[in-house]
Structure 1
Amino acid sequence: MSDQPVNEMSFEQAMAELERVVGALERGDVALEDSIKLYERGAELRKRCDQKLKEAEEKVAAITLDGDGNPVGTKPVEGL
């Protein structure tokens, strides 16, 4: 598992590490204490993925389309 802080990860990095965490937990070959740490890391990673997806959805929703459905620009999204 990575030592990179979760809040610095891209969506792709967080998702890849989350998949590794889930795999390790599913195999069940991790000591109980390590399983707890992995579960906590997984919860942080899931939260980061949710956050990045929400940001992407807000950016997509902010795209302005012309009458033919073509993007003509974006409007600012508060907080981004």
Structure 2
Amino acid sequence: MEKSEDRRPSQKEVYMKYGRGIITHAKAENIKIYKVEYTVEYKKDGVGPEDSGKDIKWCTLIRKDKNSPWLIDEIGEG
């Protein structure tokens, strides 16, 4: 698994203006967005929610303030 933080201000702006930020009211300094790449391998090509192979998800973490823990707010396709 590999993860990398997306530090582009535009990604946070999209979250705040058009995404769940409308509901959470999170400020830019309390938002982190990560691109997560991982490989799924099912035993004997078992049936699962995703096909076996490499996949990428975007994870948005938020917190109430600098003293609060980071929590996953959403996970989705890029």
Q: Give the shorter-chain TM-score range.
A: under 0.3
Between structures 1 and 2, the one with greater strand share: 2
More helix by share: 1
TM-score, structure 2 as length reference: 0.23
